[in-house]
């Protein structure tokens, strides 16, 4: 951004990280996505954002796994394949990270 704009017209700056990009389009898309997904109806289910990273102060969400169950020698944790909702919930709580 032209520094004259930053000095004279901007009252707040938002950083998406410490790196250099070719233009402002990608940072703009990141901000739009991050903000609009919090609006009711955008995710389709009100519960979808409830346990995500940053939904609670200083907390990162538990690790996510997709198919296939085994990739090379790496497997999805067995508890997630068990179907036991109580144990899965306990596992997820233990996996959350504080920062």
Looking at the structure, tell me whether residues 32 and 4 fall in a common domain: yes
The domain containing residue 70 runs over which residues?
51-99
Structure tokens, 46: 């009100």
Encode pLDDT of 22-71 as tens digits: 998 999 999 999 999 888 889 888 777 887 887 788 888 999 999 999 99
Secondary structure (DSSP) of 15-78: -S-S---SSSHHHHHHHHHHHHTTSTTSSSSTTTTTTSTTSSTTEEPPP---S-SEETTEE--H
Let me know whether 57 and 93 are in one domain: yes
pTM of this structure: 0.63
Total structural domains within the chain: 2
């Amino acid at each position: 951004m032209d520094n004259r704009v930053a000095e004279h017209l901007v009252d707040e700056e938002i950083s998406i990280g410490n790196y250099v990009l070719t233009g402002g389009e990608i940072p703009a898309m990141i901000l739009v996505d991050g903000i609009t997904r919090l609006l009711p109806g955008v995710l389709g289910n009100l519960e979808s954002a409830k346990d995500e990273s940053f939904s609670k102060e200083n907390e990162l969400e538990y690790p996510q796994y997709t198919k296939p169950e085994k990739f090379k020698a790496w497997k999805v944790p067995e508890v997630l394949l068990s179907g036991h909702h109580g144990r899965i919930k306990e596992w997820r709580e233990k996996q959350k990270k504080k920062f």
